[in-house]
Amino acid sequence: KYTKFSIFYYWINSLGQKTSIYSTSENVAIPSGKENKTATISYNHRIMPLENTSSTGTYYCEVKWNDIQKMGNGVFVLARGTGYIETSYEWEVLTTLTAIVAALSITATALLLSKRKAMSYAQQVLCPRRNKLNILRQKVETQPHSASPPPPPPVYD
């Protein structure tokens, strides 16, 4: 009674529509000495290739005997058009950081140069460098030895 059965493969899409994929009828001979015993037989079916992303759904296997019907739990398959692509932002991050550092470097250099030019211009207008050094020498020579030396010239000079 149970040696003749049919196997059905189908899938149910996201709309609940059932689509048949493959079916076959089997007639399995029972080996001698195995009568009236439970037996398990595995059947594999590959679904390849999936046509498109509309092939997404749950795939089932169902076996039918004369009066009995058994259905598997199903396997959910997600079909994508391009497959899984790992996104990498390494180059974007590196390029962005490089651009930011370059912009800050250029800005800092421009500010330092403009400040330096403004300082040297102010010194030339107010007090030429030679006169400033001569005044400092005169102060050092006229002060007693116990007095502290004059402060060093500013770093930006």
Say whether both 10 and 50 belong to one domain: yes
How much is the pTM? 0.46
* For range 116-127, the mean pLDDT: 60
pLDDT at 99: 94
Identity (one letter) of the amino acid at 80?
Answer: R
Identity (one letter) of the amino acid at 139?
Answer: K
Looking at the domain assignment, is residue 145 inside a domain? no
Name the pLDDT band for 132 (thresholds 50, 70, 90): low
What is the extent of the structural domain holding 11?
A: 4-31+38-77
Say whether both 47 and 110 belong to one domain: no
- In angstroms, the Cα distances linking 33 to 39, 40, 54, 62, 109 are 12, 16, 48, 28, 95
Say whether both 72 and 96 belong to one domain: no
pLDDT in tens, 81-101: 766 667 777 888 889 999 999
**pLDDT of 58 above 80:** yes
Q: Is 60 left (phi over 0), alpha (psi -120 to 50) or beta?
A: beta
pLDDT at 97: 92
pLDDT at 128: 52
Bridge partners of 77? Answer: 57
**pLDDT of 147 above 60:** no
Looking at the domain assignment, is residue 96 inside a domain? yes
* For range 24-36, the mean pLDDT: 85
Say whether both 73 and 99 belong to one domain: no
Name which of 15-24, 50-59, 105-114, 146-155 the model is least confident about.
146-155
Say whether both 101 and 118 belong to one domain: yes
Question: Of 99 and 119, which is predicted with more confidence?
Answer: 99
Q: What is the DSSP code (8-state) at residue 53?
A: G
Q: What is the DSSP code (8-state) at residue 46?
A: -
Looking at the domain assignment, is residue 149 inside a domain? no
Say whether both 9 and 73 belong to one domain: yes
Name the pLDDT band for 124 (thresholds 50, 70, 90): low
Say whether both 99 and 47 belong to one domain: no
- The average confidence (pLDDT) of the chain is 77
Say whether both 97 and 71 belong to one domain: no
Strands 4-12 and 18-27: antiparallel
